Amino acid sequence: MRKLNLVALAIFIAAMVWAFILPASTTRTIQNRVGAIFAPFKRTGANVQDALTGANEETRTPEQLRALNEKLAIENAQLKIYRDREQQILTELNKVNALLKFDQRTELSLIPAKIIVRKTSAWYRGATIDKGYRQGVQDGSPVILPTGPEGRASLVGRVARAGENESEILFITDELCKVAGQIEGAKDELKLRGMLEGVRVSTSRRPELRLRYLSKDAKVEKNRRVISADNTNRFPPGLTLGTVVDFRPGDASSEAIVEPAVNLDDLPYVFVMEQKVEVQPPPPPASPPR
Amino acid sequence: MIFVLLLFILMATGFVAQDFIPDIDWAWHARIFAVPIIFFACAISLPFPVMLVFAFATGFVWDALNHVAVNFPDVAHAALELDAVPPGPAGAFGFSIFLYALLGSMMHGIRPLFRRGRWELPVLMTGAGTFLLLTLDYLFINFRRAGFSMPVEVWYHIGATAVLSMIIAPFVFFLIDRLAKLSGYSIRYEGLNYRRWTVP
């Protein structure tokens, strides 16, 4: 081997070791910066794709649009009333929390986002959305979409990395995107609580999920709804995750096969739940005796 | 020098294009991996030290764009509650650099054929390289997540991706050949230096 090749190899190995031992915060900064460089291309490409496929072309008549606008205006007015009512309840709840001396309270708001590009990696299922930490997106924030006739909030995935103006989300069908879940309306909640996760590899467009670590005594019927369960105040409970399609009892623990609630192939937009965790100030120290 | 610069531009274009190449439903969700194909073609046409620079740059940018590191505190807490296995890490940042250097060195060995205009073996090697790249990447993910899962779909997916790479490879080789001619670059092969040992 030539001397120059050996020197090059030594320098390469040193550089590779440097990359391996980079701290997580540095790799995140690098990822955000490199992502920002490629961001304009992603956005332009997405616009070109939309133009080529005609995804944004309007096919409705002015009359249809007018009728839709009227319907949406009424719905919007209704929602404003509900929102005010919810705000009142939240205020009351926070007062109760303060009385019970809970340390934290959580306020939720939604950030609408558009999916720019679907993740191209071979082993991960995710996408890039057009909102980042500047718009309030945080790492781990749930990404939801209303589904079904009731318009229930259903989990699409979670934010894996929030960049400056765009973020990477992991779909619920990815093995890494785990969520604590439980069977809705279960009498014995602890028995029917488990960890929902995707499969590592699936060629299905809508791969099934597994609700693992259910109690070995658990029994779950088909078509039961699975919702998120969390008591750490870090993830909103009650989000629809899917519906049970099969149940497999086991010796140590049981698992339910779950069909995801959201069709991930058809995501025109999503909502990122912004979690504002407000830490209550510690109680003032007792005044010293005089 | 101009040729190397052109290849860097080609590689950057590959990264941009990669985001817009969809997967193919009927081929087990295989997709054309533009970046590895371009890298393998570059590895054949460049000297070893420059190939290493390319391997570092490609692997670094690939990981910067695709590496997923998740940290969900609620999941770790829930795992403790459920007596479940806490979620493992996704992968290591920089692992792609190692993979690209390893496979680039393999491709580098067939430079003489490429130089003589024989593209059959380089095309096959591009397929083999893509196959190995995905297989090693998947095995590493399994290793990091502490559980080996090798469904047959994985092999179909990897195999189909490798075949797609072989189909695209001649076009990339042709493009690089054109670029070399345009920039006046000749693909040289230094070969291995054999030292004749004589009994003193």
Least Cα distance to A274 among A125, A108, A161 occurs for: A108
DSSP state of A148: T
Token readout for A44 is: 């332009």
> Are the C-beta atoms of B149 and B142 separated by less than 8 Å?
yes
Q: Does B157 touch chain A (CB under 8 A)?
A: yes
pLDDT of A1 reads 63
> Are the C-beta atoms of A228 and A236 separated by less than 8 Å?
yes
Least Cα distance to B19 among A119, A92, A232 occurs for: A119
Residue A179 has pLDDT above 60, yes or no: yes
Least Cα distance to A105 among A97, A113, A114 occurs for: A97
pLDDT of B57 reads 94
A170: left (phi over 0), alpha (psi -120 to 50) or beta: beta
DSSP state of B56: H
Whole-angstrom distance, CA of residue A14 vs CA of residue A237 = 47
Tell me which chain A residues have a C-beta less than 8 angstroms from the C-beta of B37. Answer: none
For A235, other C-beta atoms within 10 Å of its C-beta total: 26
Tell me which chain B residues have a C-beta less than 8 angstroms from the C-beta of A117. Answer: 19-20
Q: In angstroms, what is the C-alpha Rg of chain B? A: 20
Greatest mean pLDDT among A100-104, A278-282, B40-44 lies in B40-44
Least Cα distance to A262 among A281, A239, A232, A230 occurs for: A239
Q: Which residues of chain B have pLDDT under 70?
A: 87-91, 115, 117, 146, 187-200
Token readout for A245 is: 């399609």
pLDDT of B197 reads 52
Query: How many CA atoms are closer than 13 Å to the CA of A132, on its beta-carbon side?
Result: 15
- Judged by CB atoms closer than 8 Å, whether chains meet at A122 and B153 is answered as no
- Judged by CB atoms closer than 8 Å, whether chains meet at A178 and B87 is answered as yes
For B80, other C-beta atoms within 10 Å of its C-beta total: 10
DSSP state of B24: B
Q: In angstroms, what is the C-alpha Rg of chain A? A: 24
* CA angle in degrees (0–180, nearest 5) for A229-A235-A240: 50
Token readout for B156 is: 């179909």
Residue A289 has pLDDT above 60, yes or no: no
- Judged by CB atoms closer than 8 Å, whether chains meet at B75 and A180 is answered as yes
Q: What is the pLDDT of residues A188-213, one digit of tens each?
A: 766 788 888 887 766 666 678 888 88
For B190, other C-beta atoms within 10 Å of its C-beta total: 11
Shortest distance, CA A201 to any CA of chain B (angstroms): 7
Token readout for B185 is: 């670059």
Q: Could you tell me if the ipTM is greater than 0.85?
A: no
pLDDT of A83 reads 84
pLDDT of A195 reads 87
- Judged by CB atoms closer than 8 Å, whether chains meet at A123 and B141 is answered as yes
- Judged by CB atoms closer than 8 Å, whether chains meet at A230 and B65 is answered as no
- Average pLDDT over chain A reads 80
Residue of B nearest to A2 (CA): B193
Window 34-53 of B: residues touching A by CB (8 A cutoff) are 48-49, 52-53
Whole-angstrom distance, CA of residue B21 vs CA of residue A91 = 49
Residue A109 has pLDDT above 90, yes or no: no
pLDDT of B192 reads 45
DSSP state of A134: G
Q: What is the pLDDT of residues A215-246, one digit of tens each?
A: 888 888 888 899 988 766 667 888 899 999 98
Q: What is the pLDDT of residues A145-156, one digit of tens each?
A: 888 777 788 899
- Would you place residue A11 in the very low, low, confident or very high pLDDT band (cuts 50, 70, 90)? very high
What percent of chain B is modeled with pLDDT above 90? 25
- The count of CB pairs under 8 A between chains A and B is 163
pLDDT of B91 reads 65
Whole-angstrom distance, CA of residue B83 vs CA of residue A194 = 10
pLDDT of B185 reads 80
